[in-house]
Amino acid sequence: MKSTKFKTIPLLLVALICLSLPATLWAGEVDITVGAGVAAVPDYEGSEDYTAAPLLMLNAKWEQGYYAKFMGNRLRVNVIPSNTWSVGPVLQFRGKRNDDVSNNKVADMKKIDSTVEAGAFGGFNFEGWDASLQWVTDTSDEHDGDLTTFDAGYAFDAAGLKNRVGMSMTYASKDYMDTYFSVDRKDADRSGLDRYSADSGLKDIGINLSSNYAFNESWGLTGLIKYSALLNDAKDSPVVDDEGNSNQFTLGLMATYKF
């Protein structure tokens, strides 16, 4: 298990990078958009049951190309002055899985608290096309693992809407997979599920679509839908295969305001 001291390093790096941003970032012209709404999300990763969750968004972009983007559970900050390339820190929240989940057998398994993952990303955006590669690691002792995510997409206007269609895939480390998808002896005794050991690998692949309708220069309405398929050891886990579903959906709707 990683030491708590080592696991605070990603958070400290994120803080140092943000604090070291050039003063010109805060002095330049900035466009700010905020959003709030609600989303339907899986009760836990791999669940066949869904629950409501708040959907929040903040997008601040400076004329030099710097930006801070918060959407759902993730914050990214671009620390280089470019409208094409982006590099910077990431903070990502992951919710808990405990005895309040709908599935009784999964509820009887050991509790997994919420955690914050920290890391870095790099990407580009050119003529509507975008792609990024992100790495994050757990900053607590919840899963002790790492996640590497590649995502890409294309933005376009159609039928009076601003749209983006995208895809993503995530590779998860052994520690992450073991926490969320393995069933050890104690969990098997408590839940009645078969024992299972999950290994590292490609965890999921997904597609997503978001559309924004602007009522005027300030107000808008954004809808989003995301589908992801759990793969390999995640898909085969009793938590998913016996008690859940490898097909995971997220549906969201939020009002947006541009300053």
Quickly tell me which residue has 């989940």 as its tokens: 101
pLDDT reading at 21 higher than 90: no
Average pLDDT, the chain: 91
Could you list the beta-strand ranges (E) of the chain. 30-42, 50-62, 67-71, 74-78, 85-94, 115-126, 129-138, 146-158, 161-172, 201-214, 219-230, 247-258
Domain boundaries, the chain: 4-258
pLDDT reading at 3 higher than 50: no
Q: What integer is the mean pLDDT of 227-235?
A: 98
pLDDT reading at 65 higher than 70: yes
pLDDT reading at 230 higher than 90: yes
pLDDT score of 42? 97
Q: What integer is the mean pLDDT of 226-243?
A: 98
Give residue-wise pLDDT tens across range 102-120.
Answer: 999 999 999 999 999 999 9
pLDDT score of 249? 98
Confidence of residue 58 (pLDDT cuts 50, 70, 90): very high
pLDDT score of 181? 98
Half-sphere CA count of 136, side-chain side, radius 13 A: 26
pLDDT score of 170? 98
Query: pLDDT above 90 covers what percent of the chain?
Result: 86
CB-based burial, 207-225: b 16+ in 10 Å, e otherwise: ebebbbeeeeeeebbbebe
Give residue-wise pLDDT tens across range 73-88.
Answer: 999 999 999 999 999 9
pLDDT reading at 211 higher than 60: yes
Q: What integer is the mean pLDDT of 175-192?
A: 96
Give residue-wise pLDDT tens across range 31-41.
Answer: 999 999 999 99
pLDDT score of 12? 57
Closest CA relative to residue 10, chosen from 200, 144, 175, 199: 144
CB-based burial, 27-50: b 16+ in 10 Å, e otherwise: eeebeebbbebebebbbbbbbeeb
Report yes or no: 39 and 223 within 8 Å, Cβ to Cβ.
no
pLDDT reading at 19 higher than 80: no
CB-based burial, 142-163: b 16+ in 10 Å, e otherwise: bbbbbbbbebbbeeeeeeebee
Say how far apart CA 136 and CA 203 lie, in whole Å: 14
Q: What is the DSSP string of 83-127?
A: SSEEEEEEEEEE--BSTTSS-HHHHTSPPB--EEEEEEEEEEEET
Q: What integer is the mean pLDDT of 17-30?
A: 60
Report yes or no: 89 and 118 within 8 Å, Cβ to Cβ.
yes
Confidence of residue 13 (pLDDT cuts 50, 70, 90): low
The fold of the 4-258 domain, in CATH, is Porin (2.40.160)
pLDDT reading at 26 higher than 90: no
Q: What integer is the mean pLDDT of 205-209?
A: 98
